[in-house]
Amino acid sequence: MAEHGIGIIGCGMIAEYHVRAVNEIDGARVVGACDTSAARTKAEKIAGMAGHDCQIYDDIAQMLANPEIDVVCVCTPSGAHMEPSVQAARAGKHIIVEKPLEIDLNRCDAIINACDEAGVRLCAIFPSRFAPANRRIKEAIDSGRFGRLTLGDTHVKWWRTQEYYDSGGWRGTWKLDGGGALMNQAIHNVDLIYWLMGDVESVFAHAATLAHVRIEVEDTIVATVRYKSGALGTIQAATSAYPGLAKRIEVHGDRGSARVEQDDLTMWDFQEKIPSDNIIQAAIAGRSSGNSGASDPRGISHLGHREQIEDFLRAIDENRAPFVDGRDGRKSVEIIRAIYRSAREGKAITLPLADDPPSF
């Protein structure tokens, strides 16, 4: 792989996962860390984690002028992804954006269009797509093993303390968080269920704030889904479910069913068996739970980030689209925005959305 210099914009907690990931990729290194002057200690921490001479910046334009940097990771709060992404694209940098791509479709489109115009690559971080269990289900769907898909469900019943929301002025706000349990925590599973089941035709939802105060957004939400294939499903998301359960995906068809908890297969059963099923069943029987963010935001692994960032860098080298691109990132935001609109208006919402006004 060619040499790649990485710049990080926004040096909060999630930036640490990006640094750990890049440190383990041959040919890649973090050479710049940028945050506001008020957050200089965070930038210093990121630079220290990089393990070599990493320049600290409090001005994005200055960092983007560094010719050693060809890729930028945008790790700012969710509703502040657009401005640095567009600026980086215009500077000719390839861009990795933490989930969500942005908090509404207009802002997503501004990022995508800027990258298209500049001829740079773009990806949104969805490391769960790289988990072997999820890839195995996708392969089984594509090969027809499930038969006709009938149900696709996802459940993210997590717990976050009040202190979590109080710890940052942007948390729990429409303007910078873009939503609550669904947009911030469960978006990975929204992306997964769309990737597995296909496009969504319509949603109907109910939302509430039940276990927290001083936040504008939901901590509990339930949606029913009709997929364009005709299959049905549910999406549940919460940060109100103490002590927090492993996230779950279930896919069912008229010839098979599979379930993933966290990123581990816990069910794999098909009408027509093949030899590899025995190996998979044995692995299920001996599995151990992976890292989980069910109650602790830091309780996740950086390994999925490493796989996705490495794929992105190889996509640049090979002049191809990354495994997860910006338009994939837009799709999950569109589904979530439709669910929020349904909860707000009390009616079913059909996709694609014709318009998407801000929520603040």
Strands 149-157 and 200-208: unpaired
| Angstrom distance (rounded) from CA 146 to CA 8 | 41
Token digits for 198? 């296909």
Please report whether residue 350 resides in a domain.
no
CATH number, domain with residue 11: 3.40.50.720
My answer on whether 248 and 310 are in the same domain is no
Strands 4-9 and 71-74: parallel
| Residues 60-75, mean pLDDT to the nearest whole number | 98
Taking only the tens place, the pLDDT of each residue in 81-90 is 999 999 999 9
Taking only the tens place, the pLDDT of each residue in 154-205 is 999 999 999 999 987 889 999 999 999 999 999 999 999 999 999 999 999 9
Taking only the tens place, the pLDDT of each residue in 261-287 is 988 899 999 999 999 998 888 887 666
My answer on whether 121 and 142 are in the same domain is no
My answer on whether 71 and 154 are in the same domain is no
Range of the domain at 57: 4-127+302-322
Q: Which residue has the tokens 């973090």?
A: 30
| Angstrom distance (rounded) from CA 268 to CA 280 | 8
My answer on whether 92 and 65 are in the same domain is yes
Please report whether residue 353 resides in a domain.
no
Q: How far is CA 4 from CA 29, 67, 131, 316, in A?
A: 7, 11, 24, 10
My answer on whether 107 and 136 are in the same domain is no
CATH number, domain with residue 244: 3.30.360.10
My answer on whether 176 and 266 are in the same domain is yes
Q: How many domains does the chain have?
A: 2
Please report whether residue 25 resides in a domain.
yes
pLDDT confidence bin for 55, thresholds 50/70/90: very high
Q: What is the mean pLDDT of the chain?
A: 94
Look at residues 147, 149, 217, 212 and name the one whose alpha carbon lies nearest to residue 182: 217
My answer on whether 155 and 203 are in the same domain is yes
Report pLDDT for 293: 76
- DSSP annotation of 300 reads S
Please report whether residue 358 resides in a domain.
no
pTM of the model: 0.95
How many CA atoms lie within 13 Å of 180's alpha carbon, on the beta-carbon side?
A: 31
Please provide the DSSP assignment of 160-219 as one string: --HHHHHTSTTTT-TTTT-SSIIIIITHHHHHHHHHHH--EEEEEEEEE--S-SS-SS-S
Question: With 60 as the cut, is the pLDDT of residue 241 above it?
Answer: yes
Please report whether residue 356 resides in a domain.
no
87: β partners: none
Taking only the tens place, the pLDDT of each residue in 124-140 is 999 999 999 999 999 99
Question: With 60 as the cut, is the pLDDT of residue 289 above it?
Answer: no
My answer on whether 278 and 188 are in the same domain is yes
Report pLDDT for 37: 86
My answer on whether 231 and 254 are in the same domain is yes
Please report whether residue 357 resides in a domain.
no
Strand, helix or coil for residue 238: strand
Q: Which residue has the tokens 């990089």?
A: 50
Phi (first) and psi of residue 246, to 5 degrees: -65, 140
pLDDT confidence bin for 39, thresholds 50/70/90: confident
User: How many CB atoms lie under 10 A from the CB of residue 222?
Assistant: 18
My answer on whether 101 and 138 are in the same domain is no
My answer on whether 157 and 105 are in the same domain is no
Torsion of CA 21, 163, 220, 267, to 10 degrees: 40
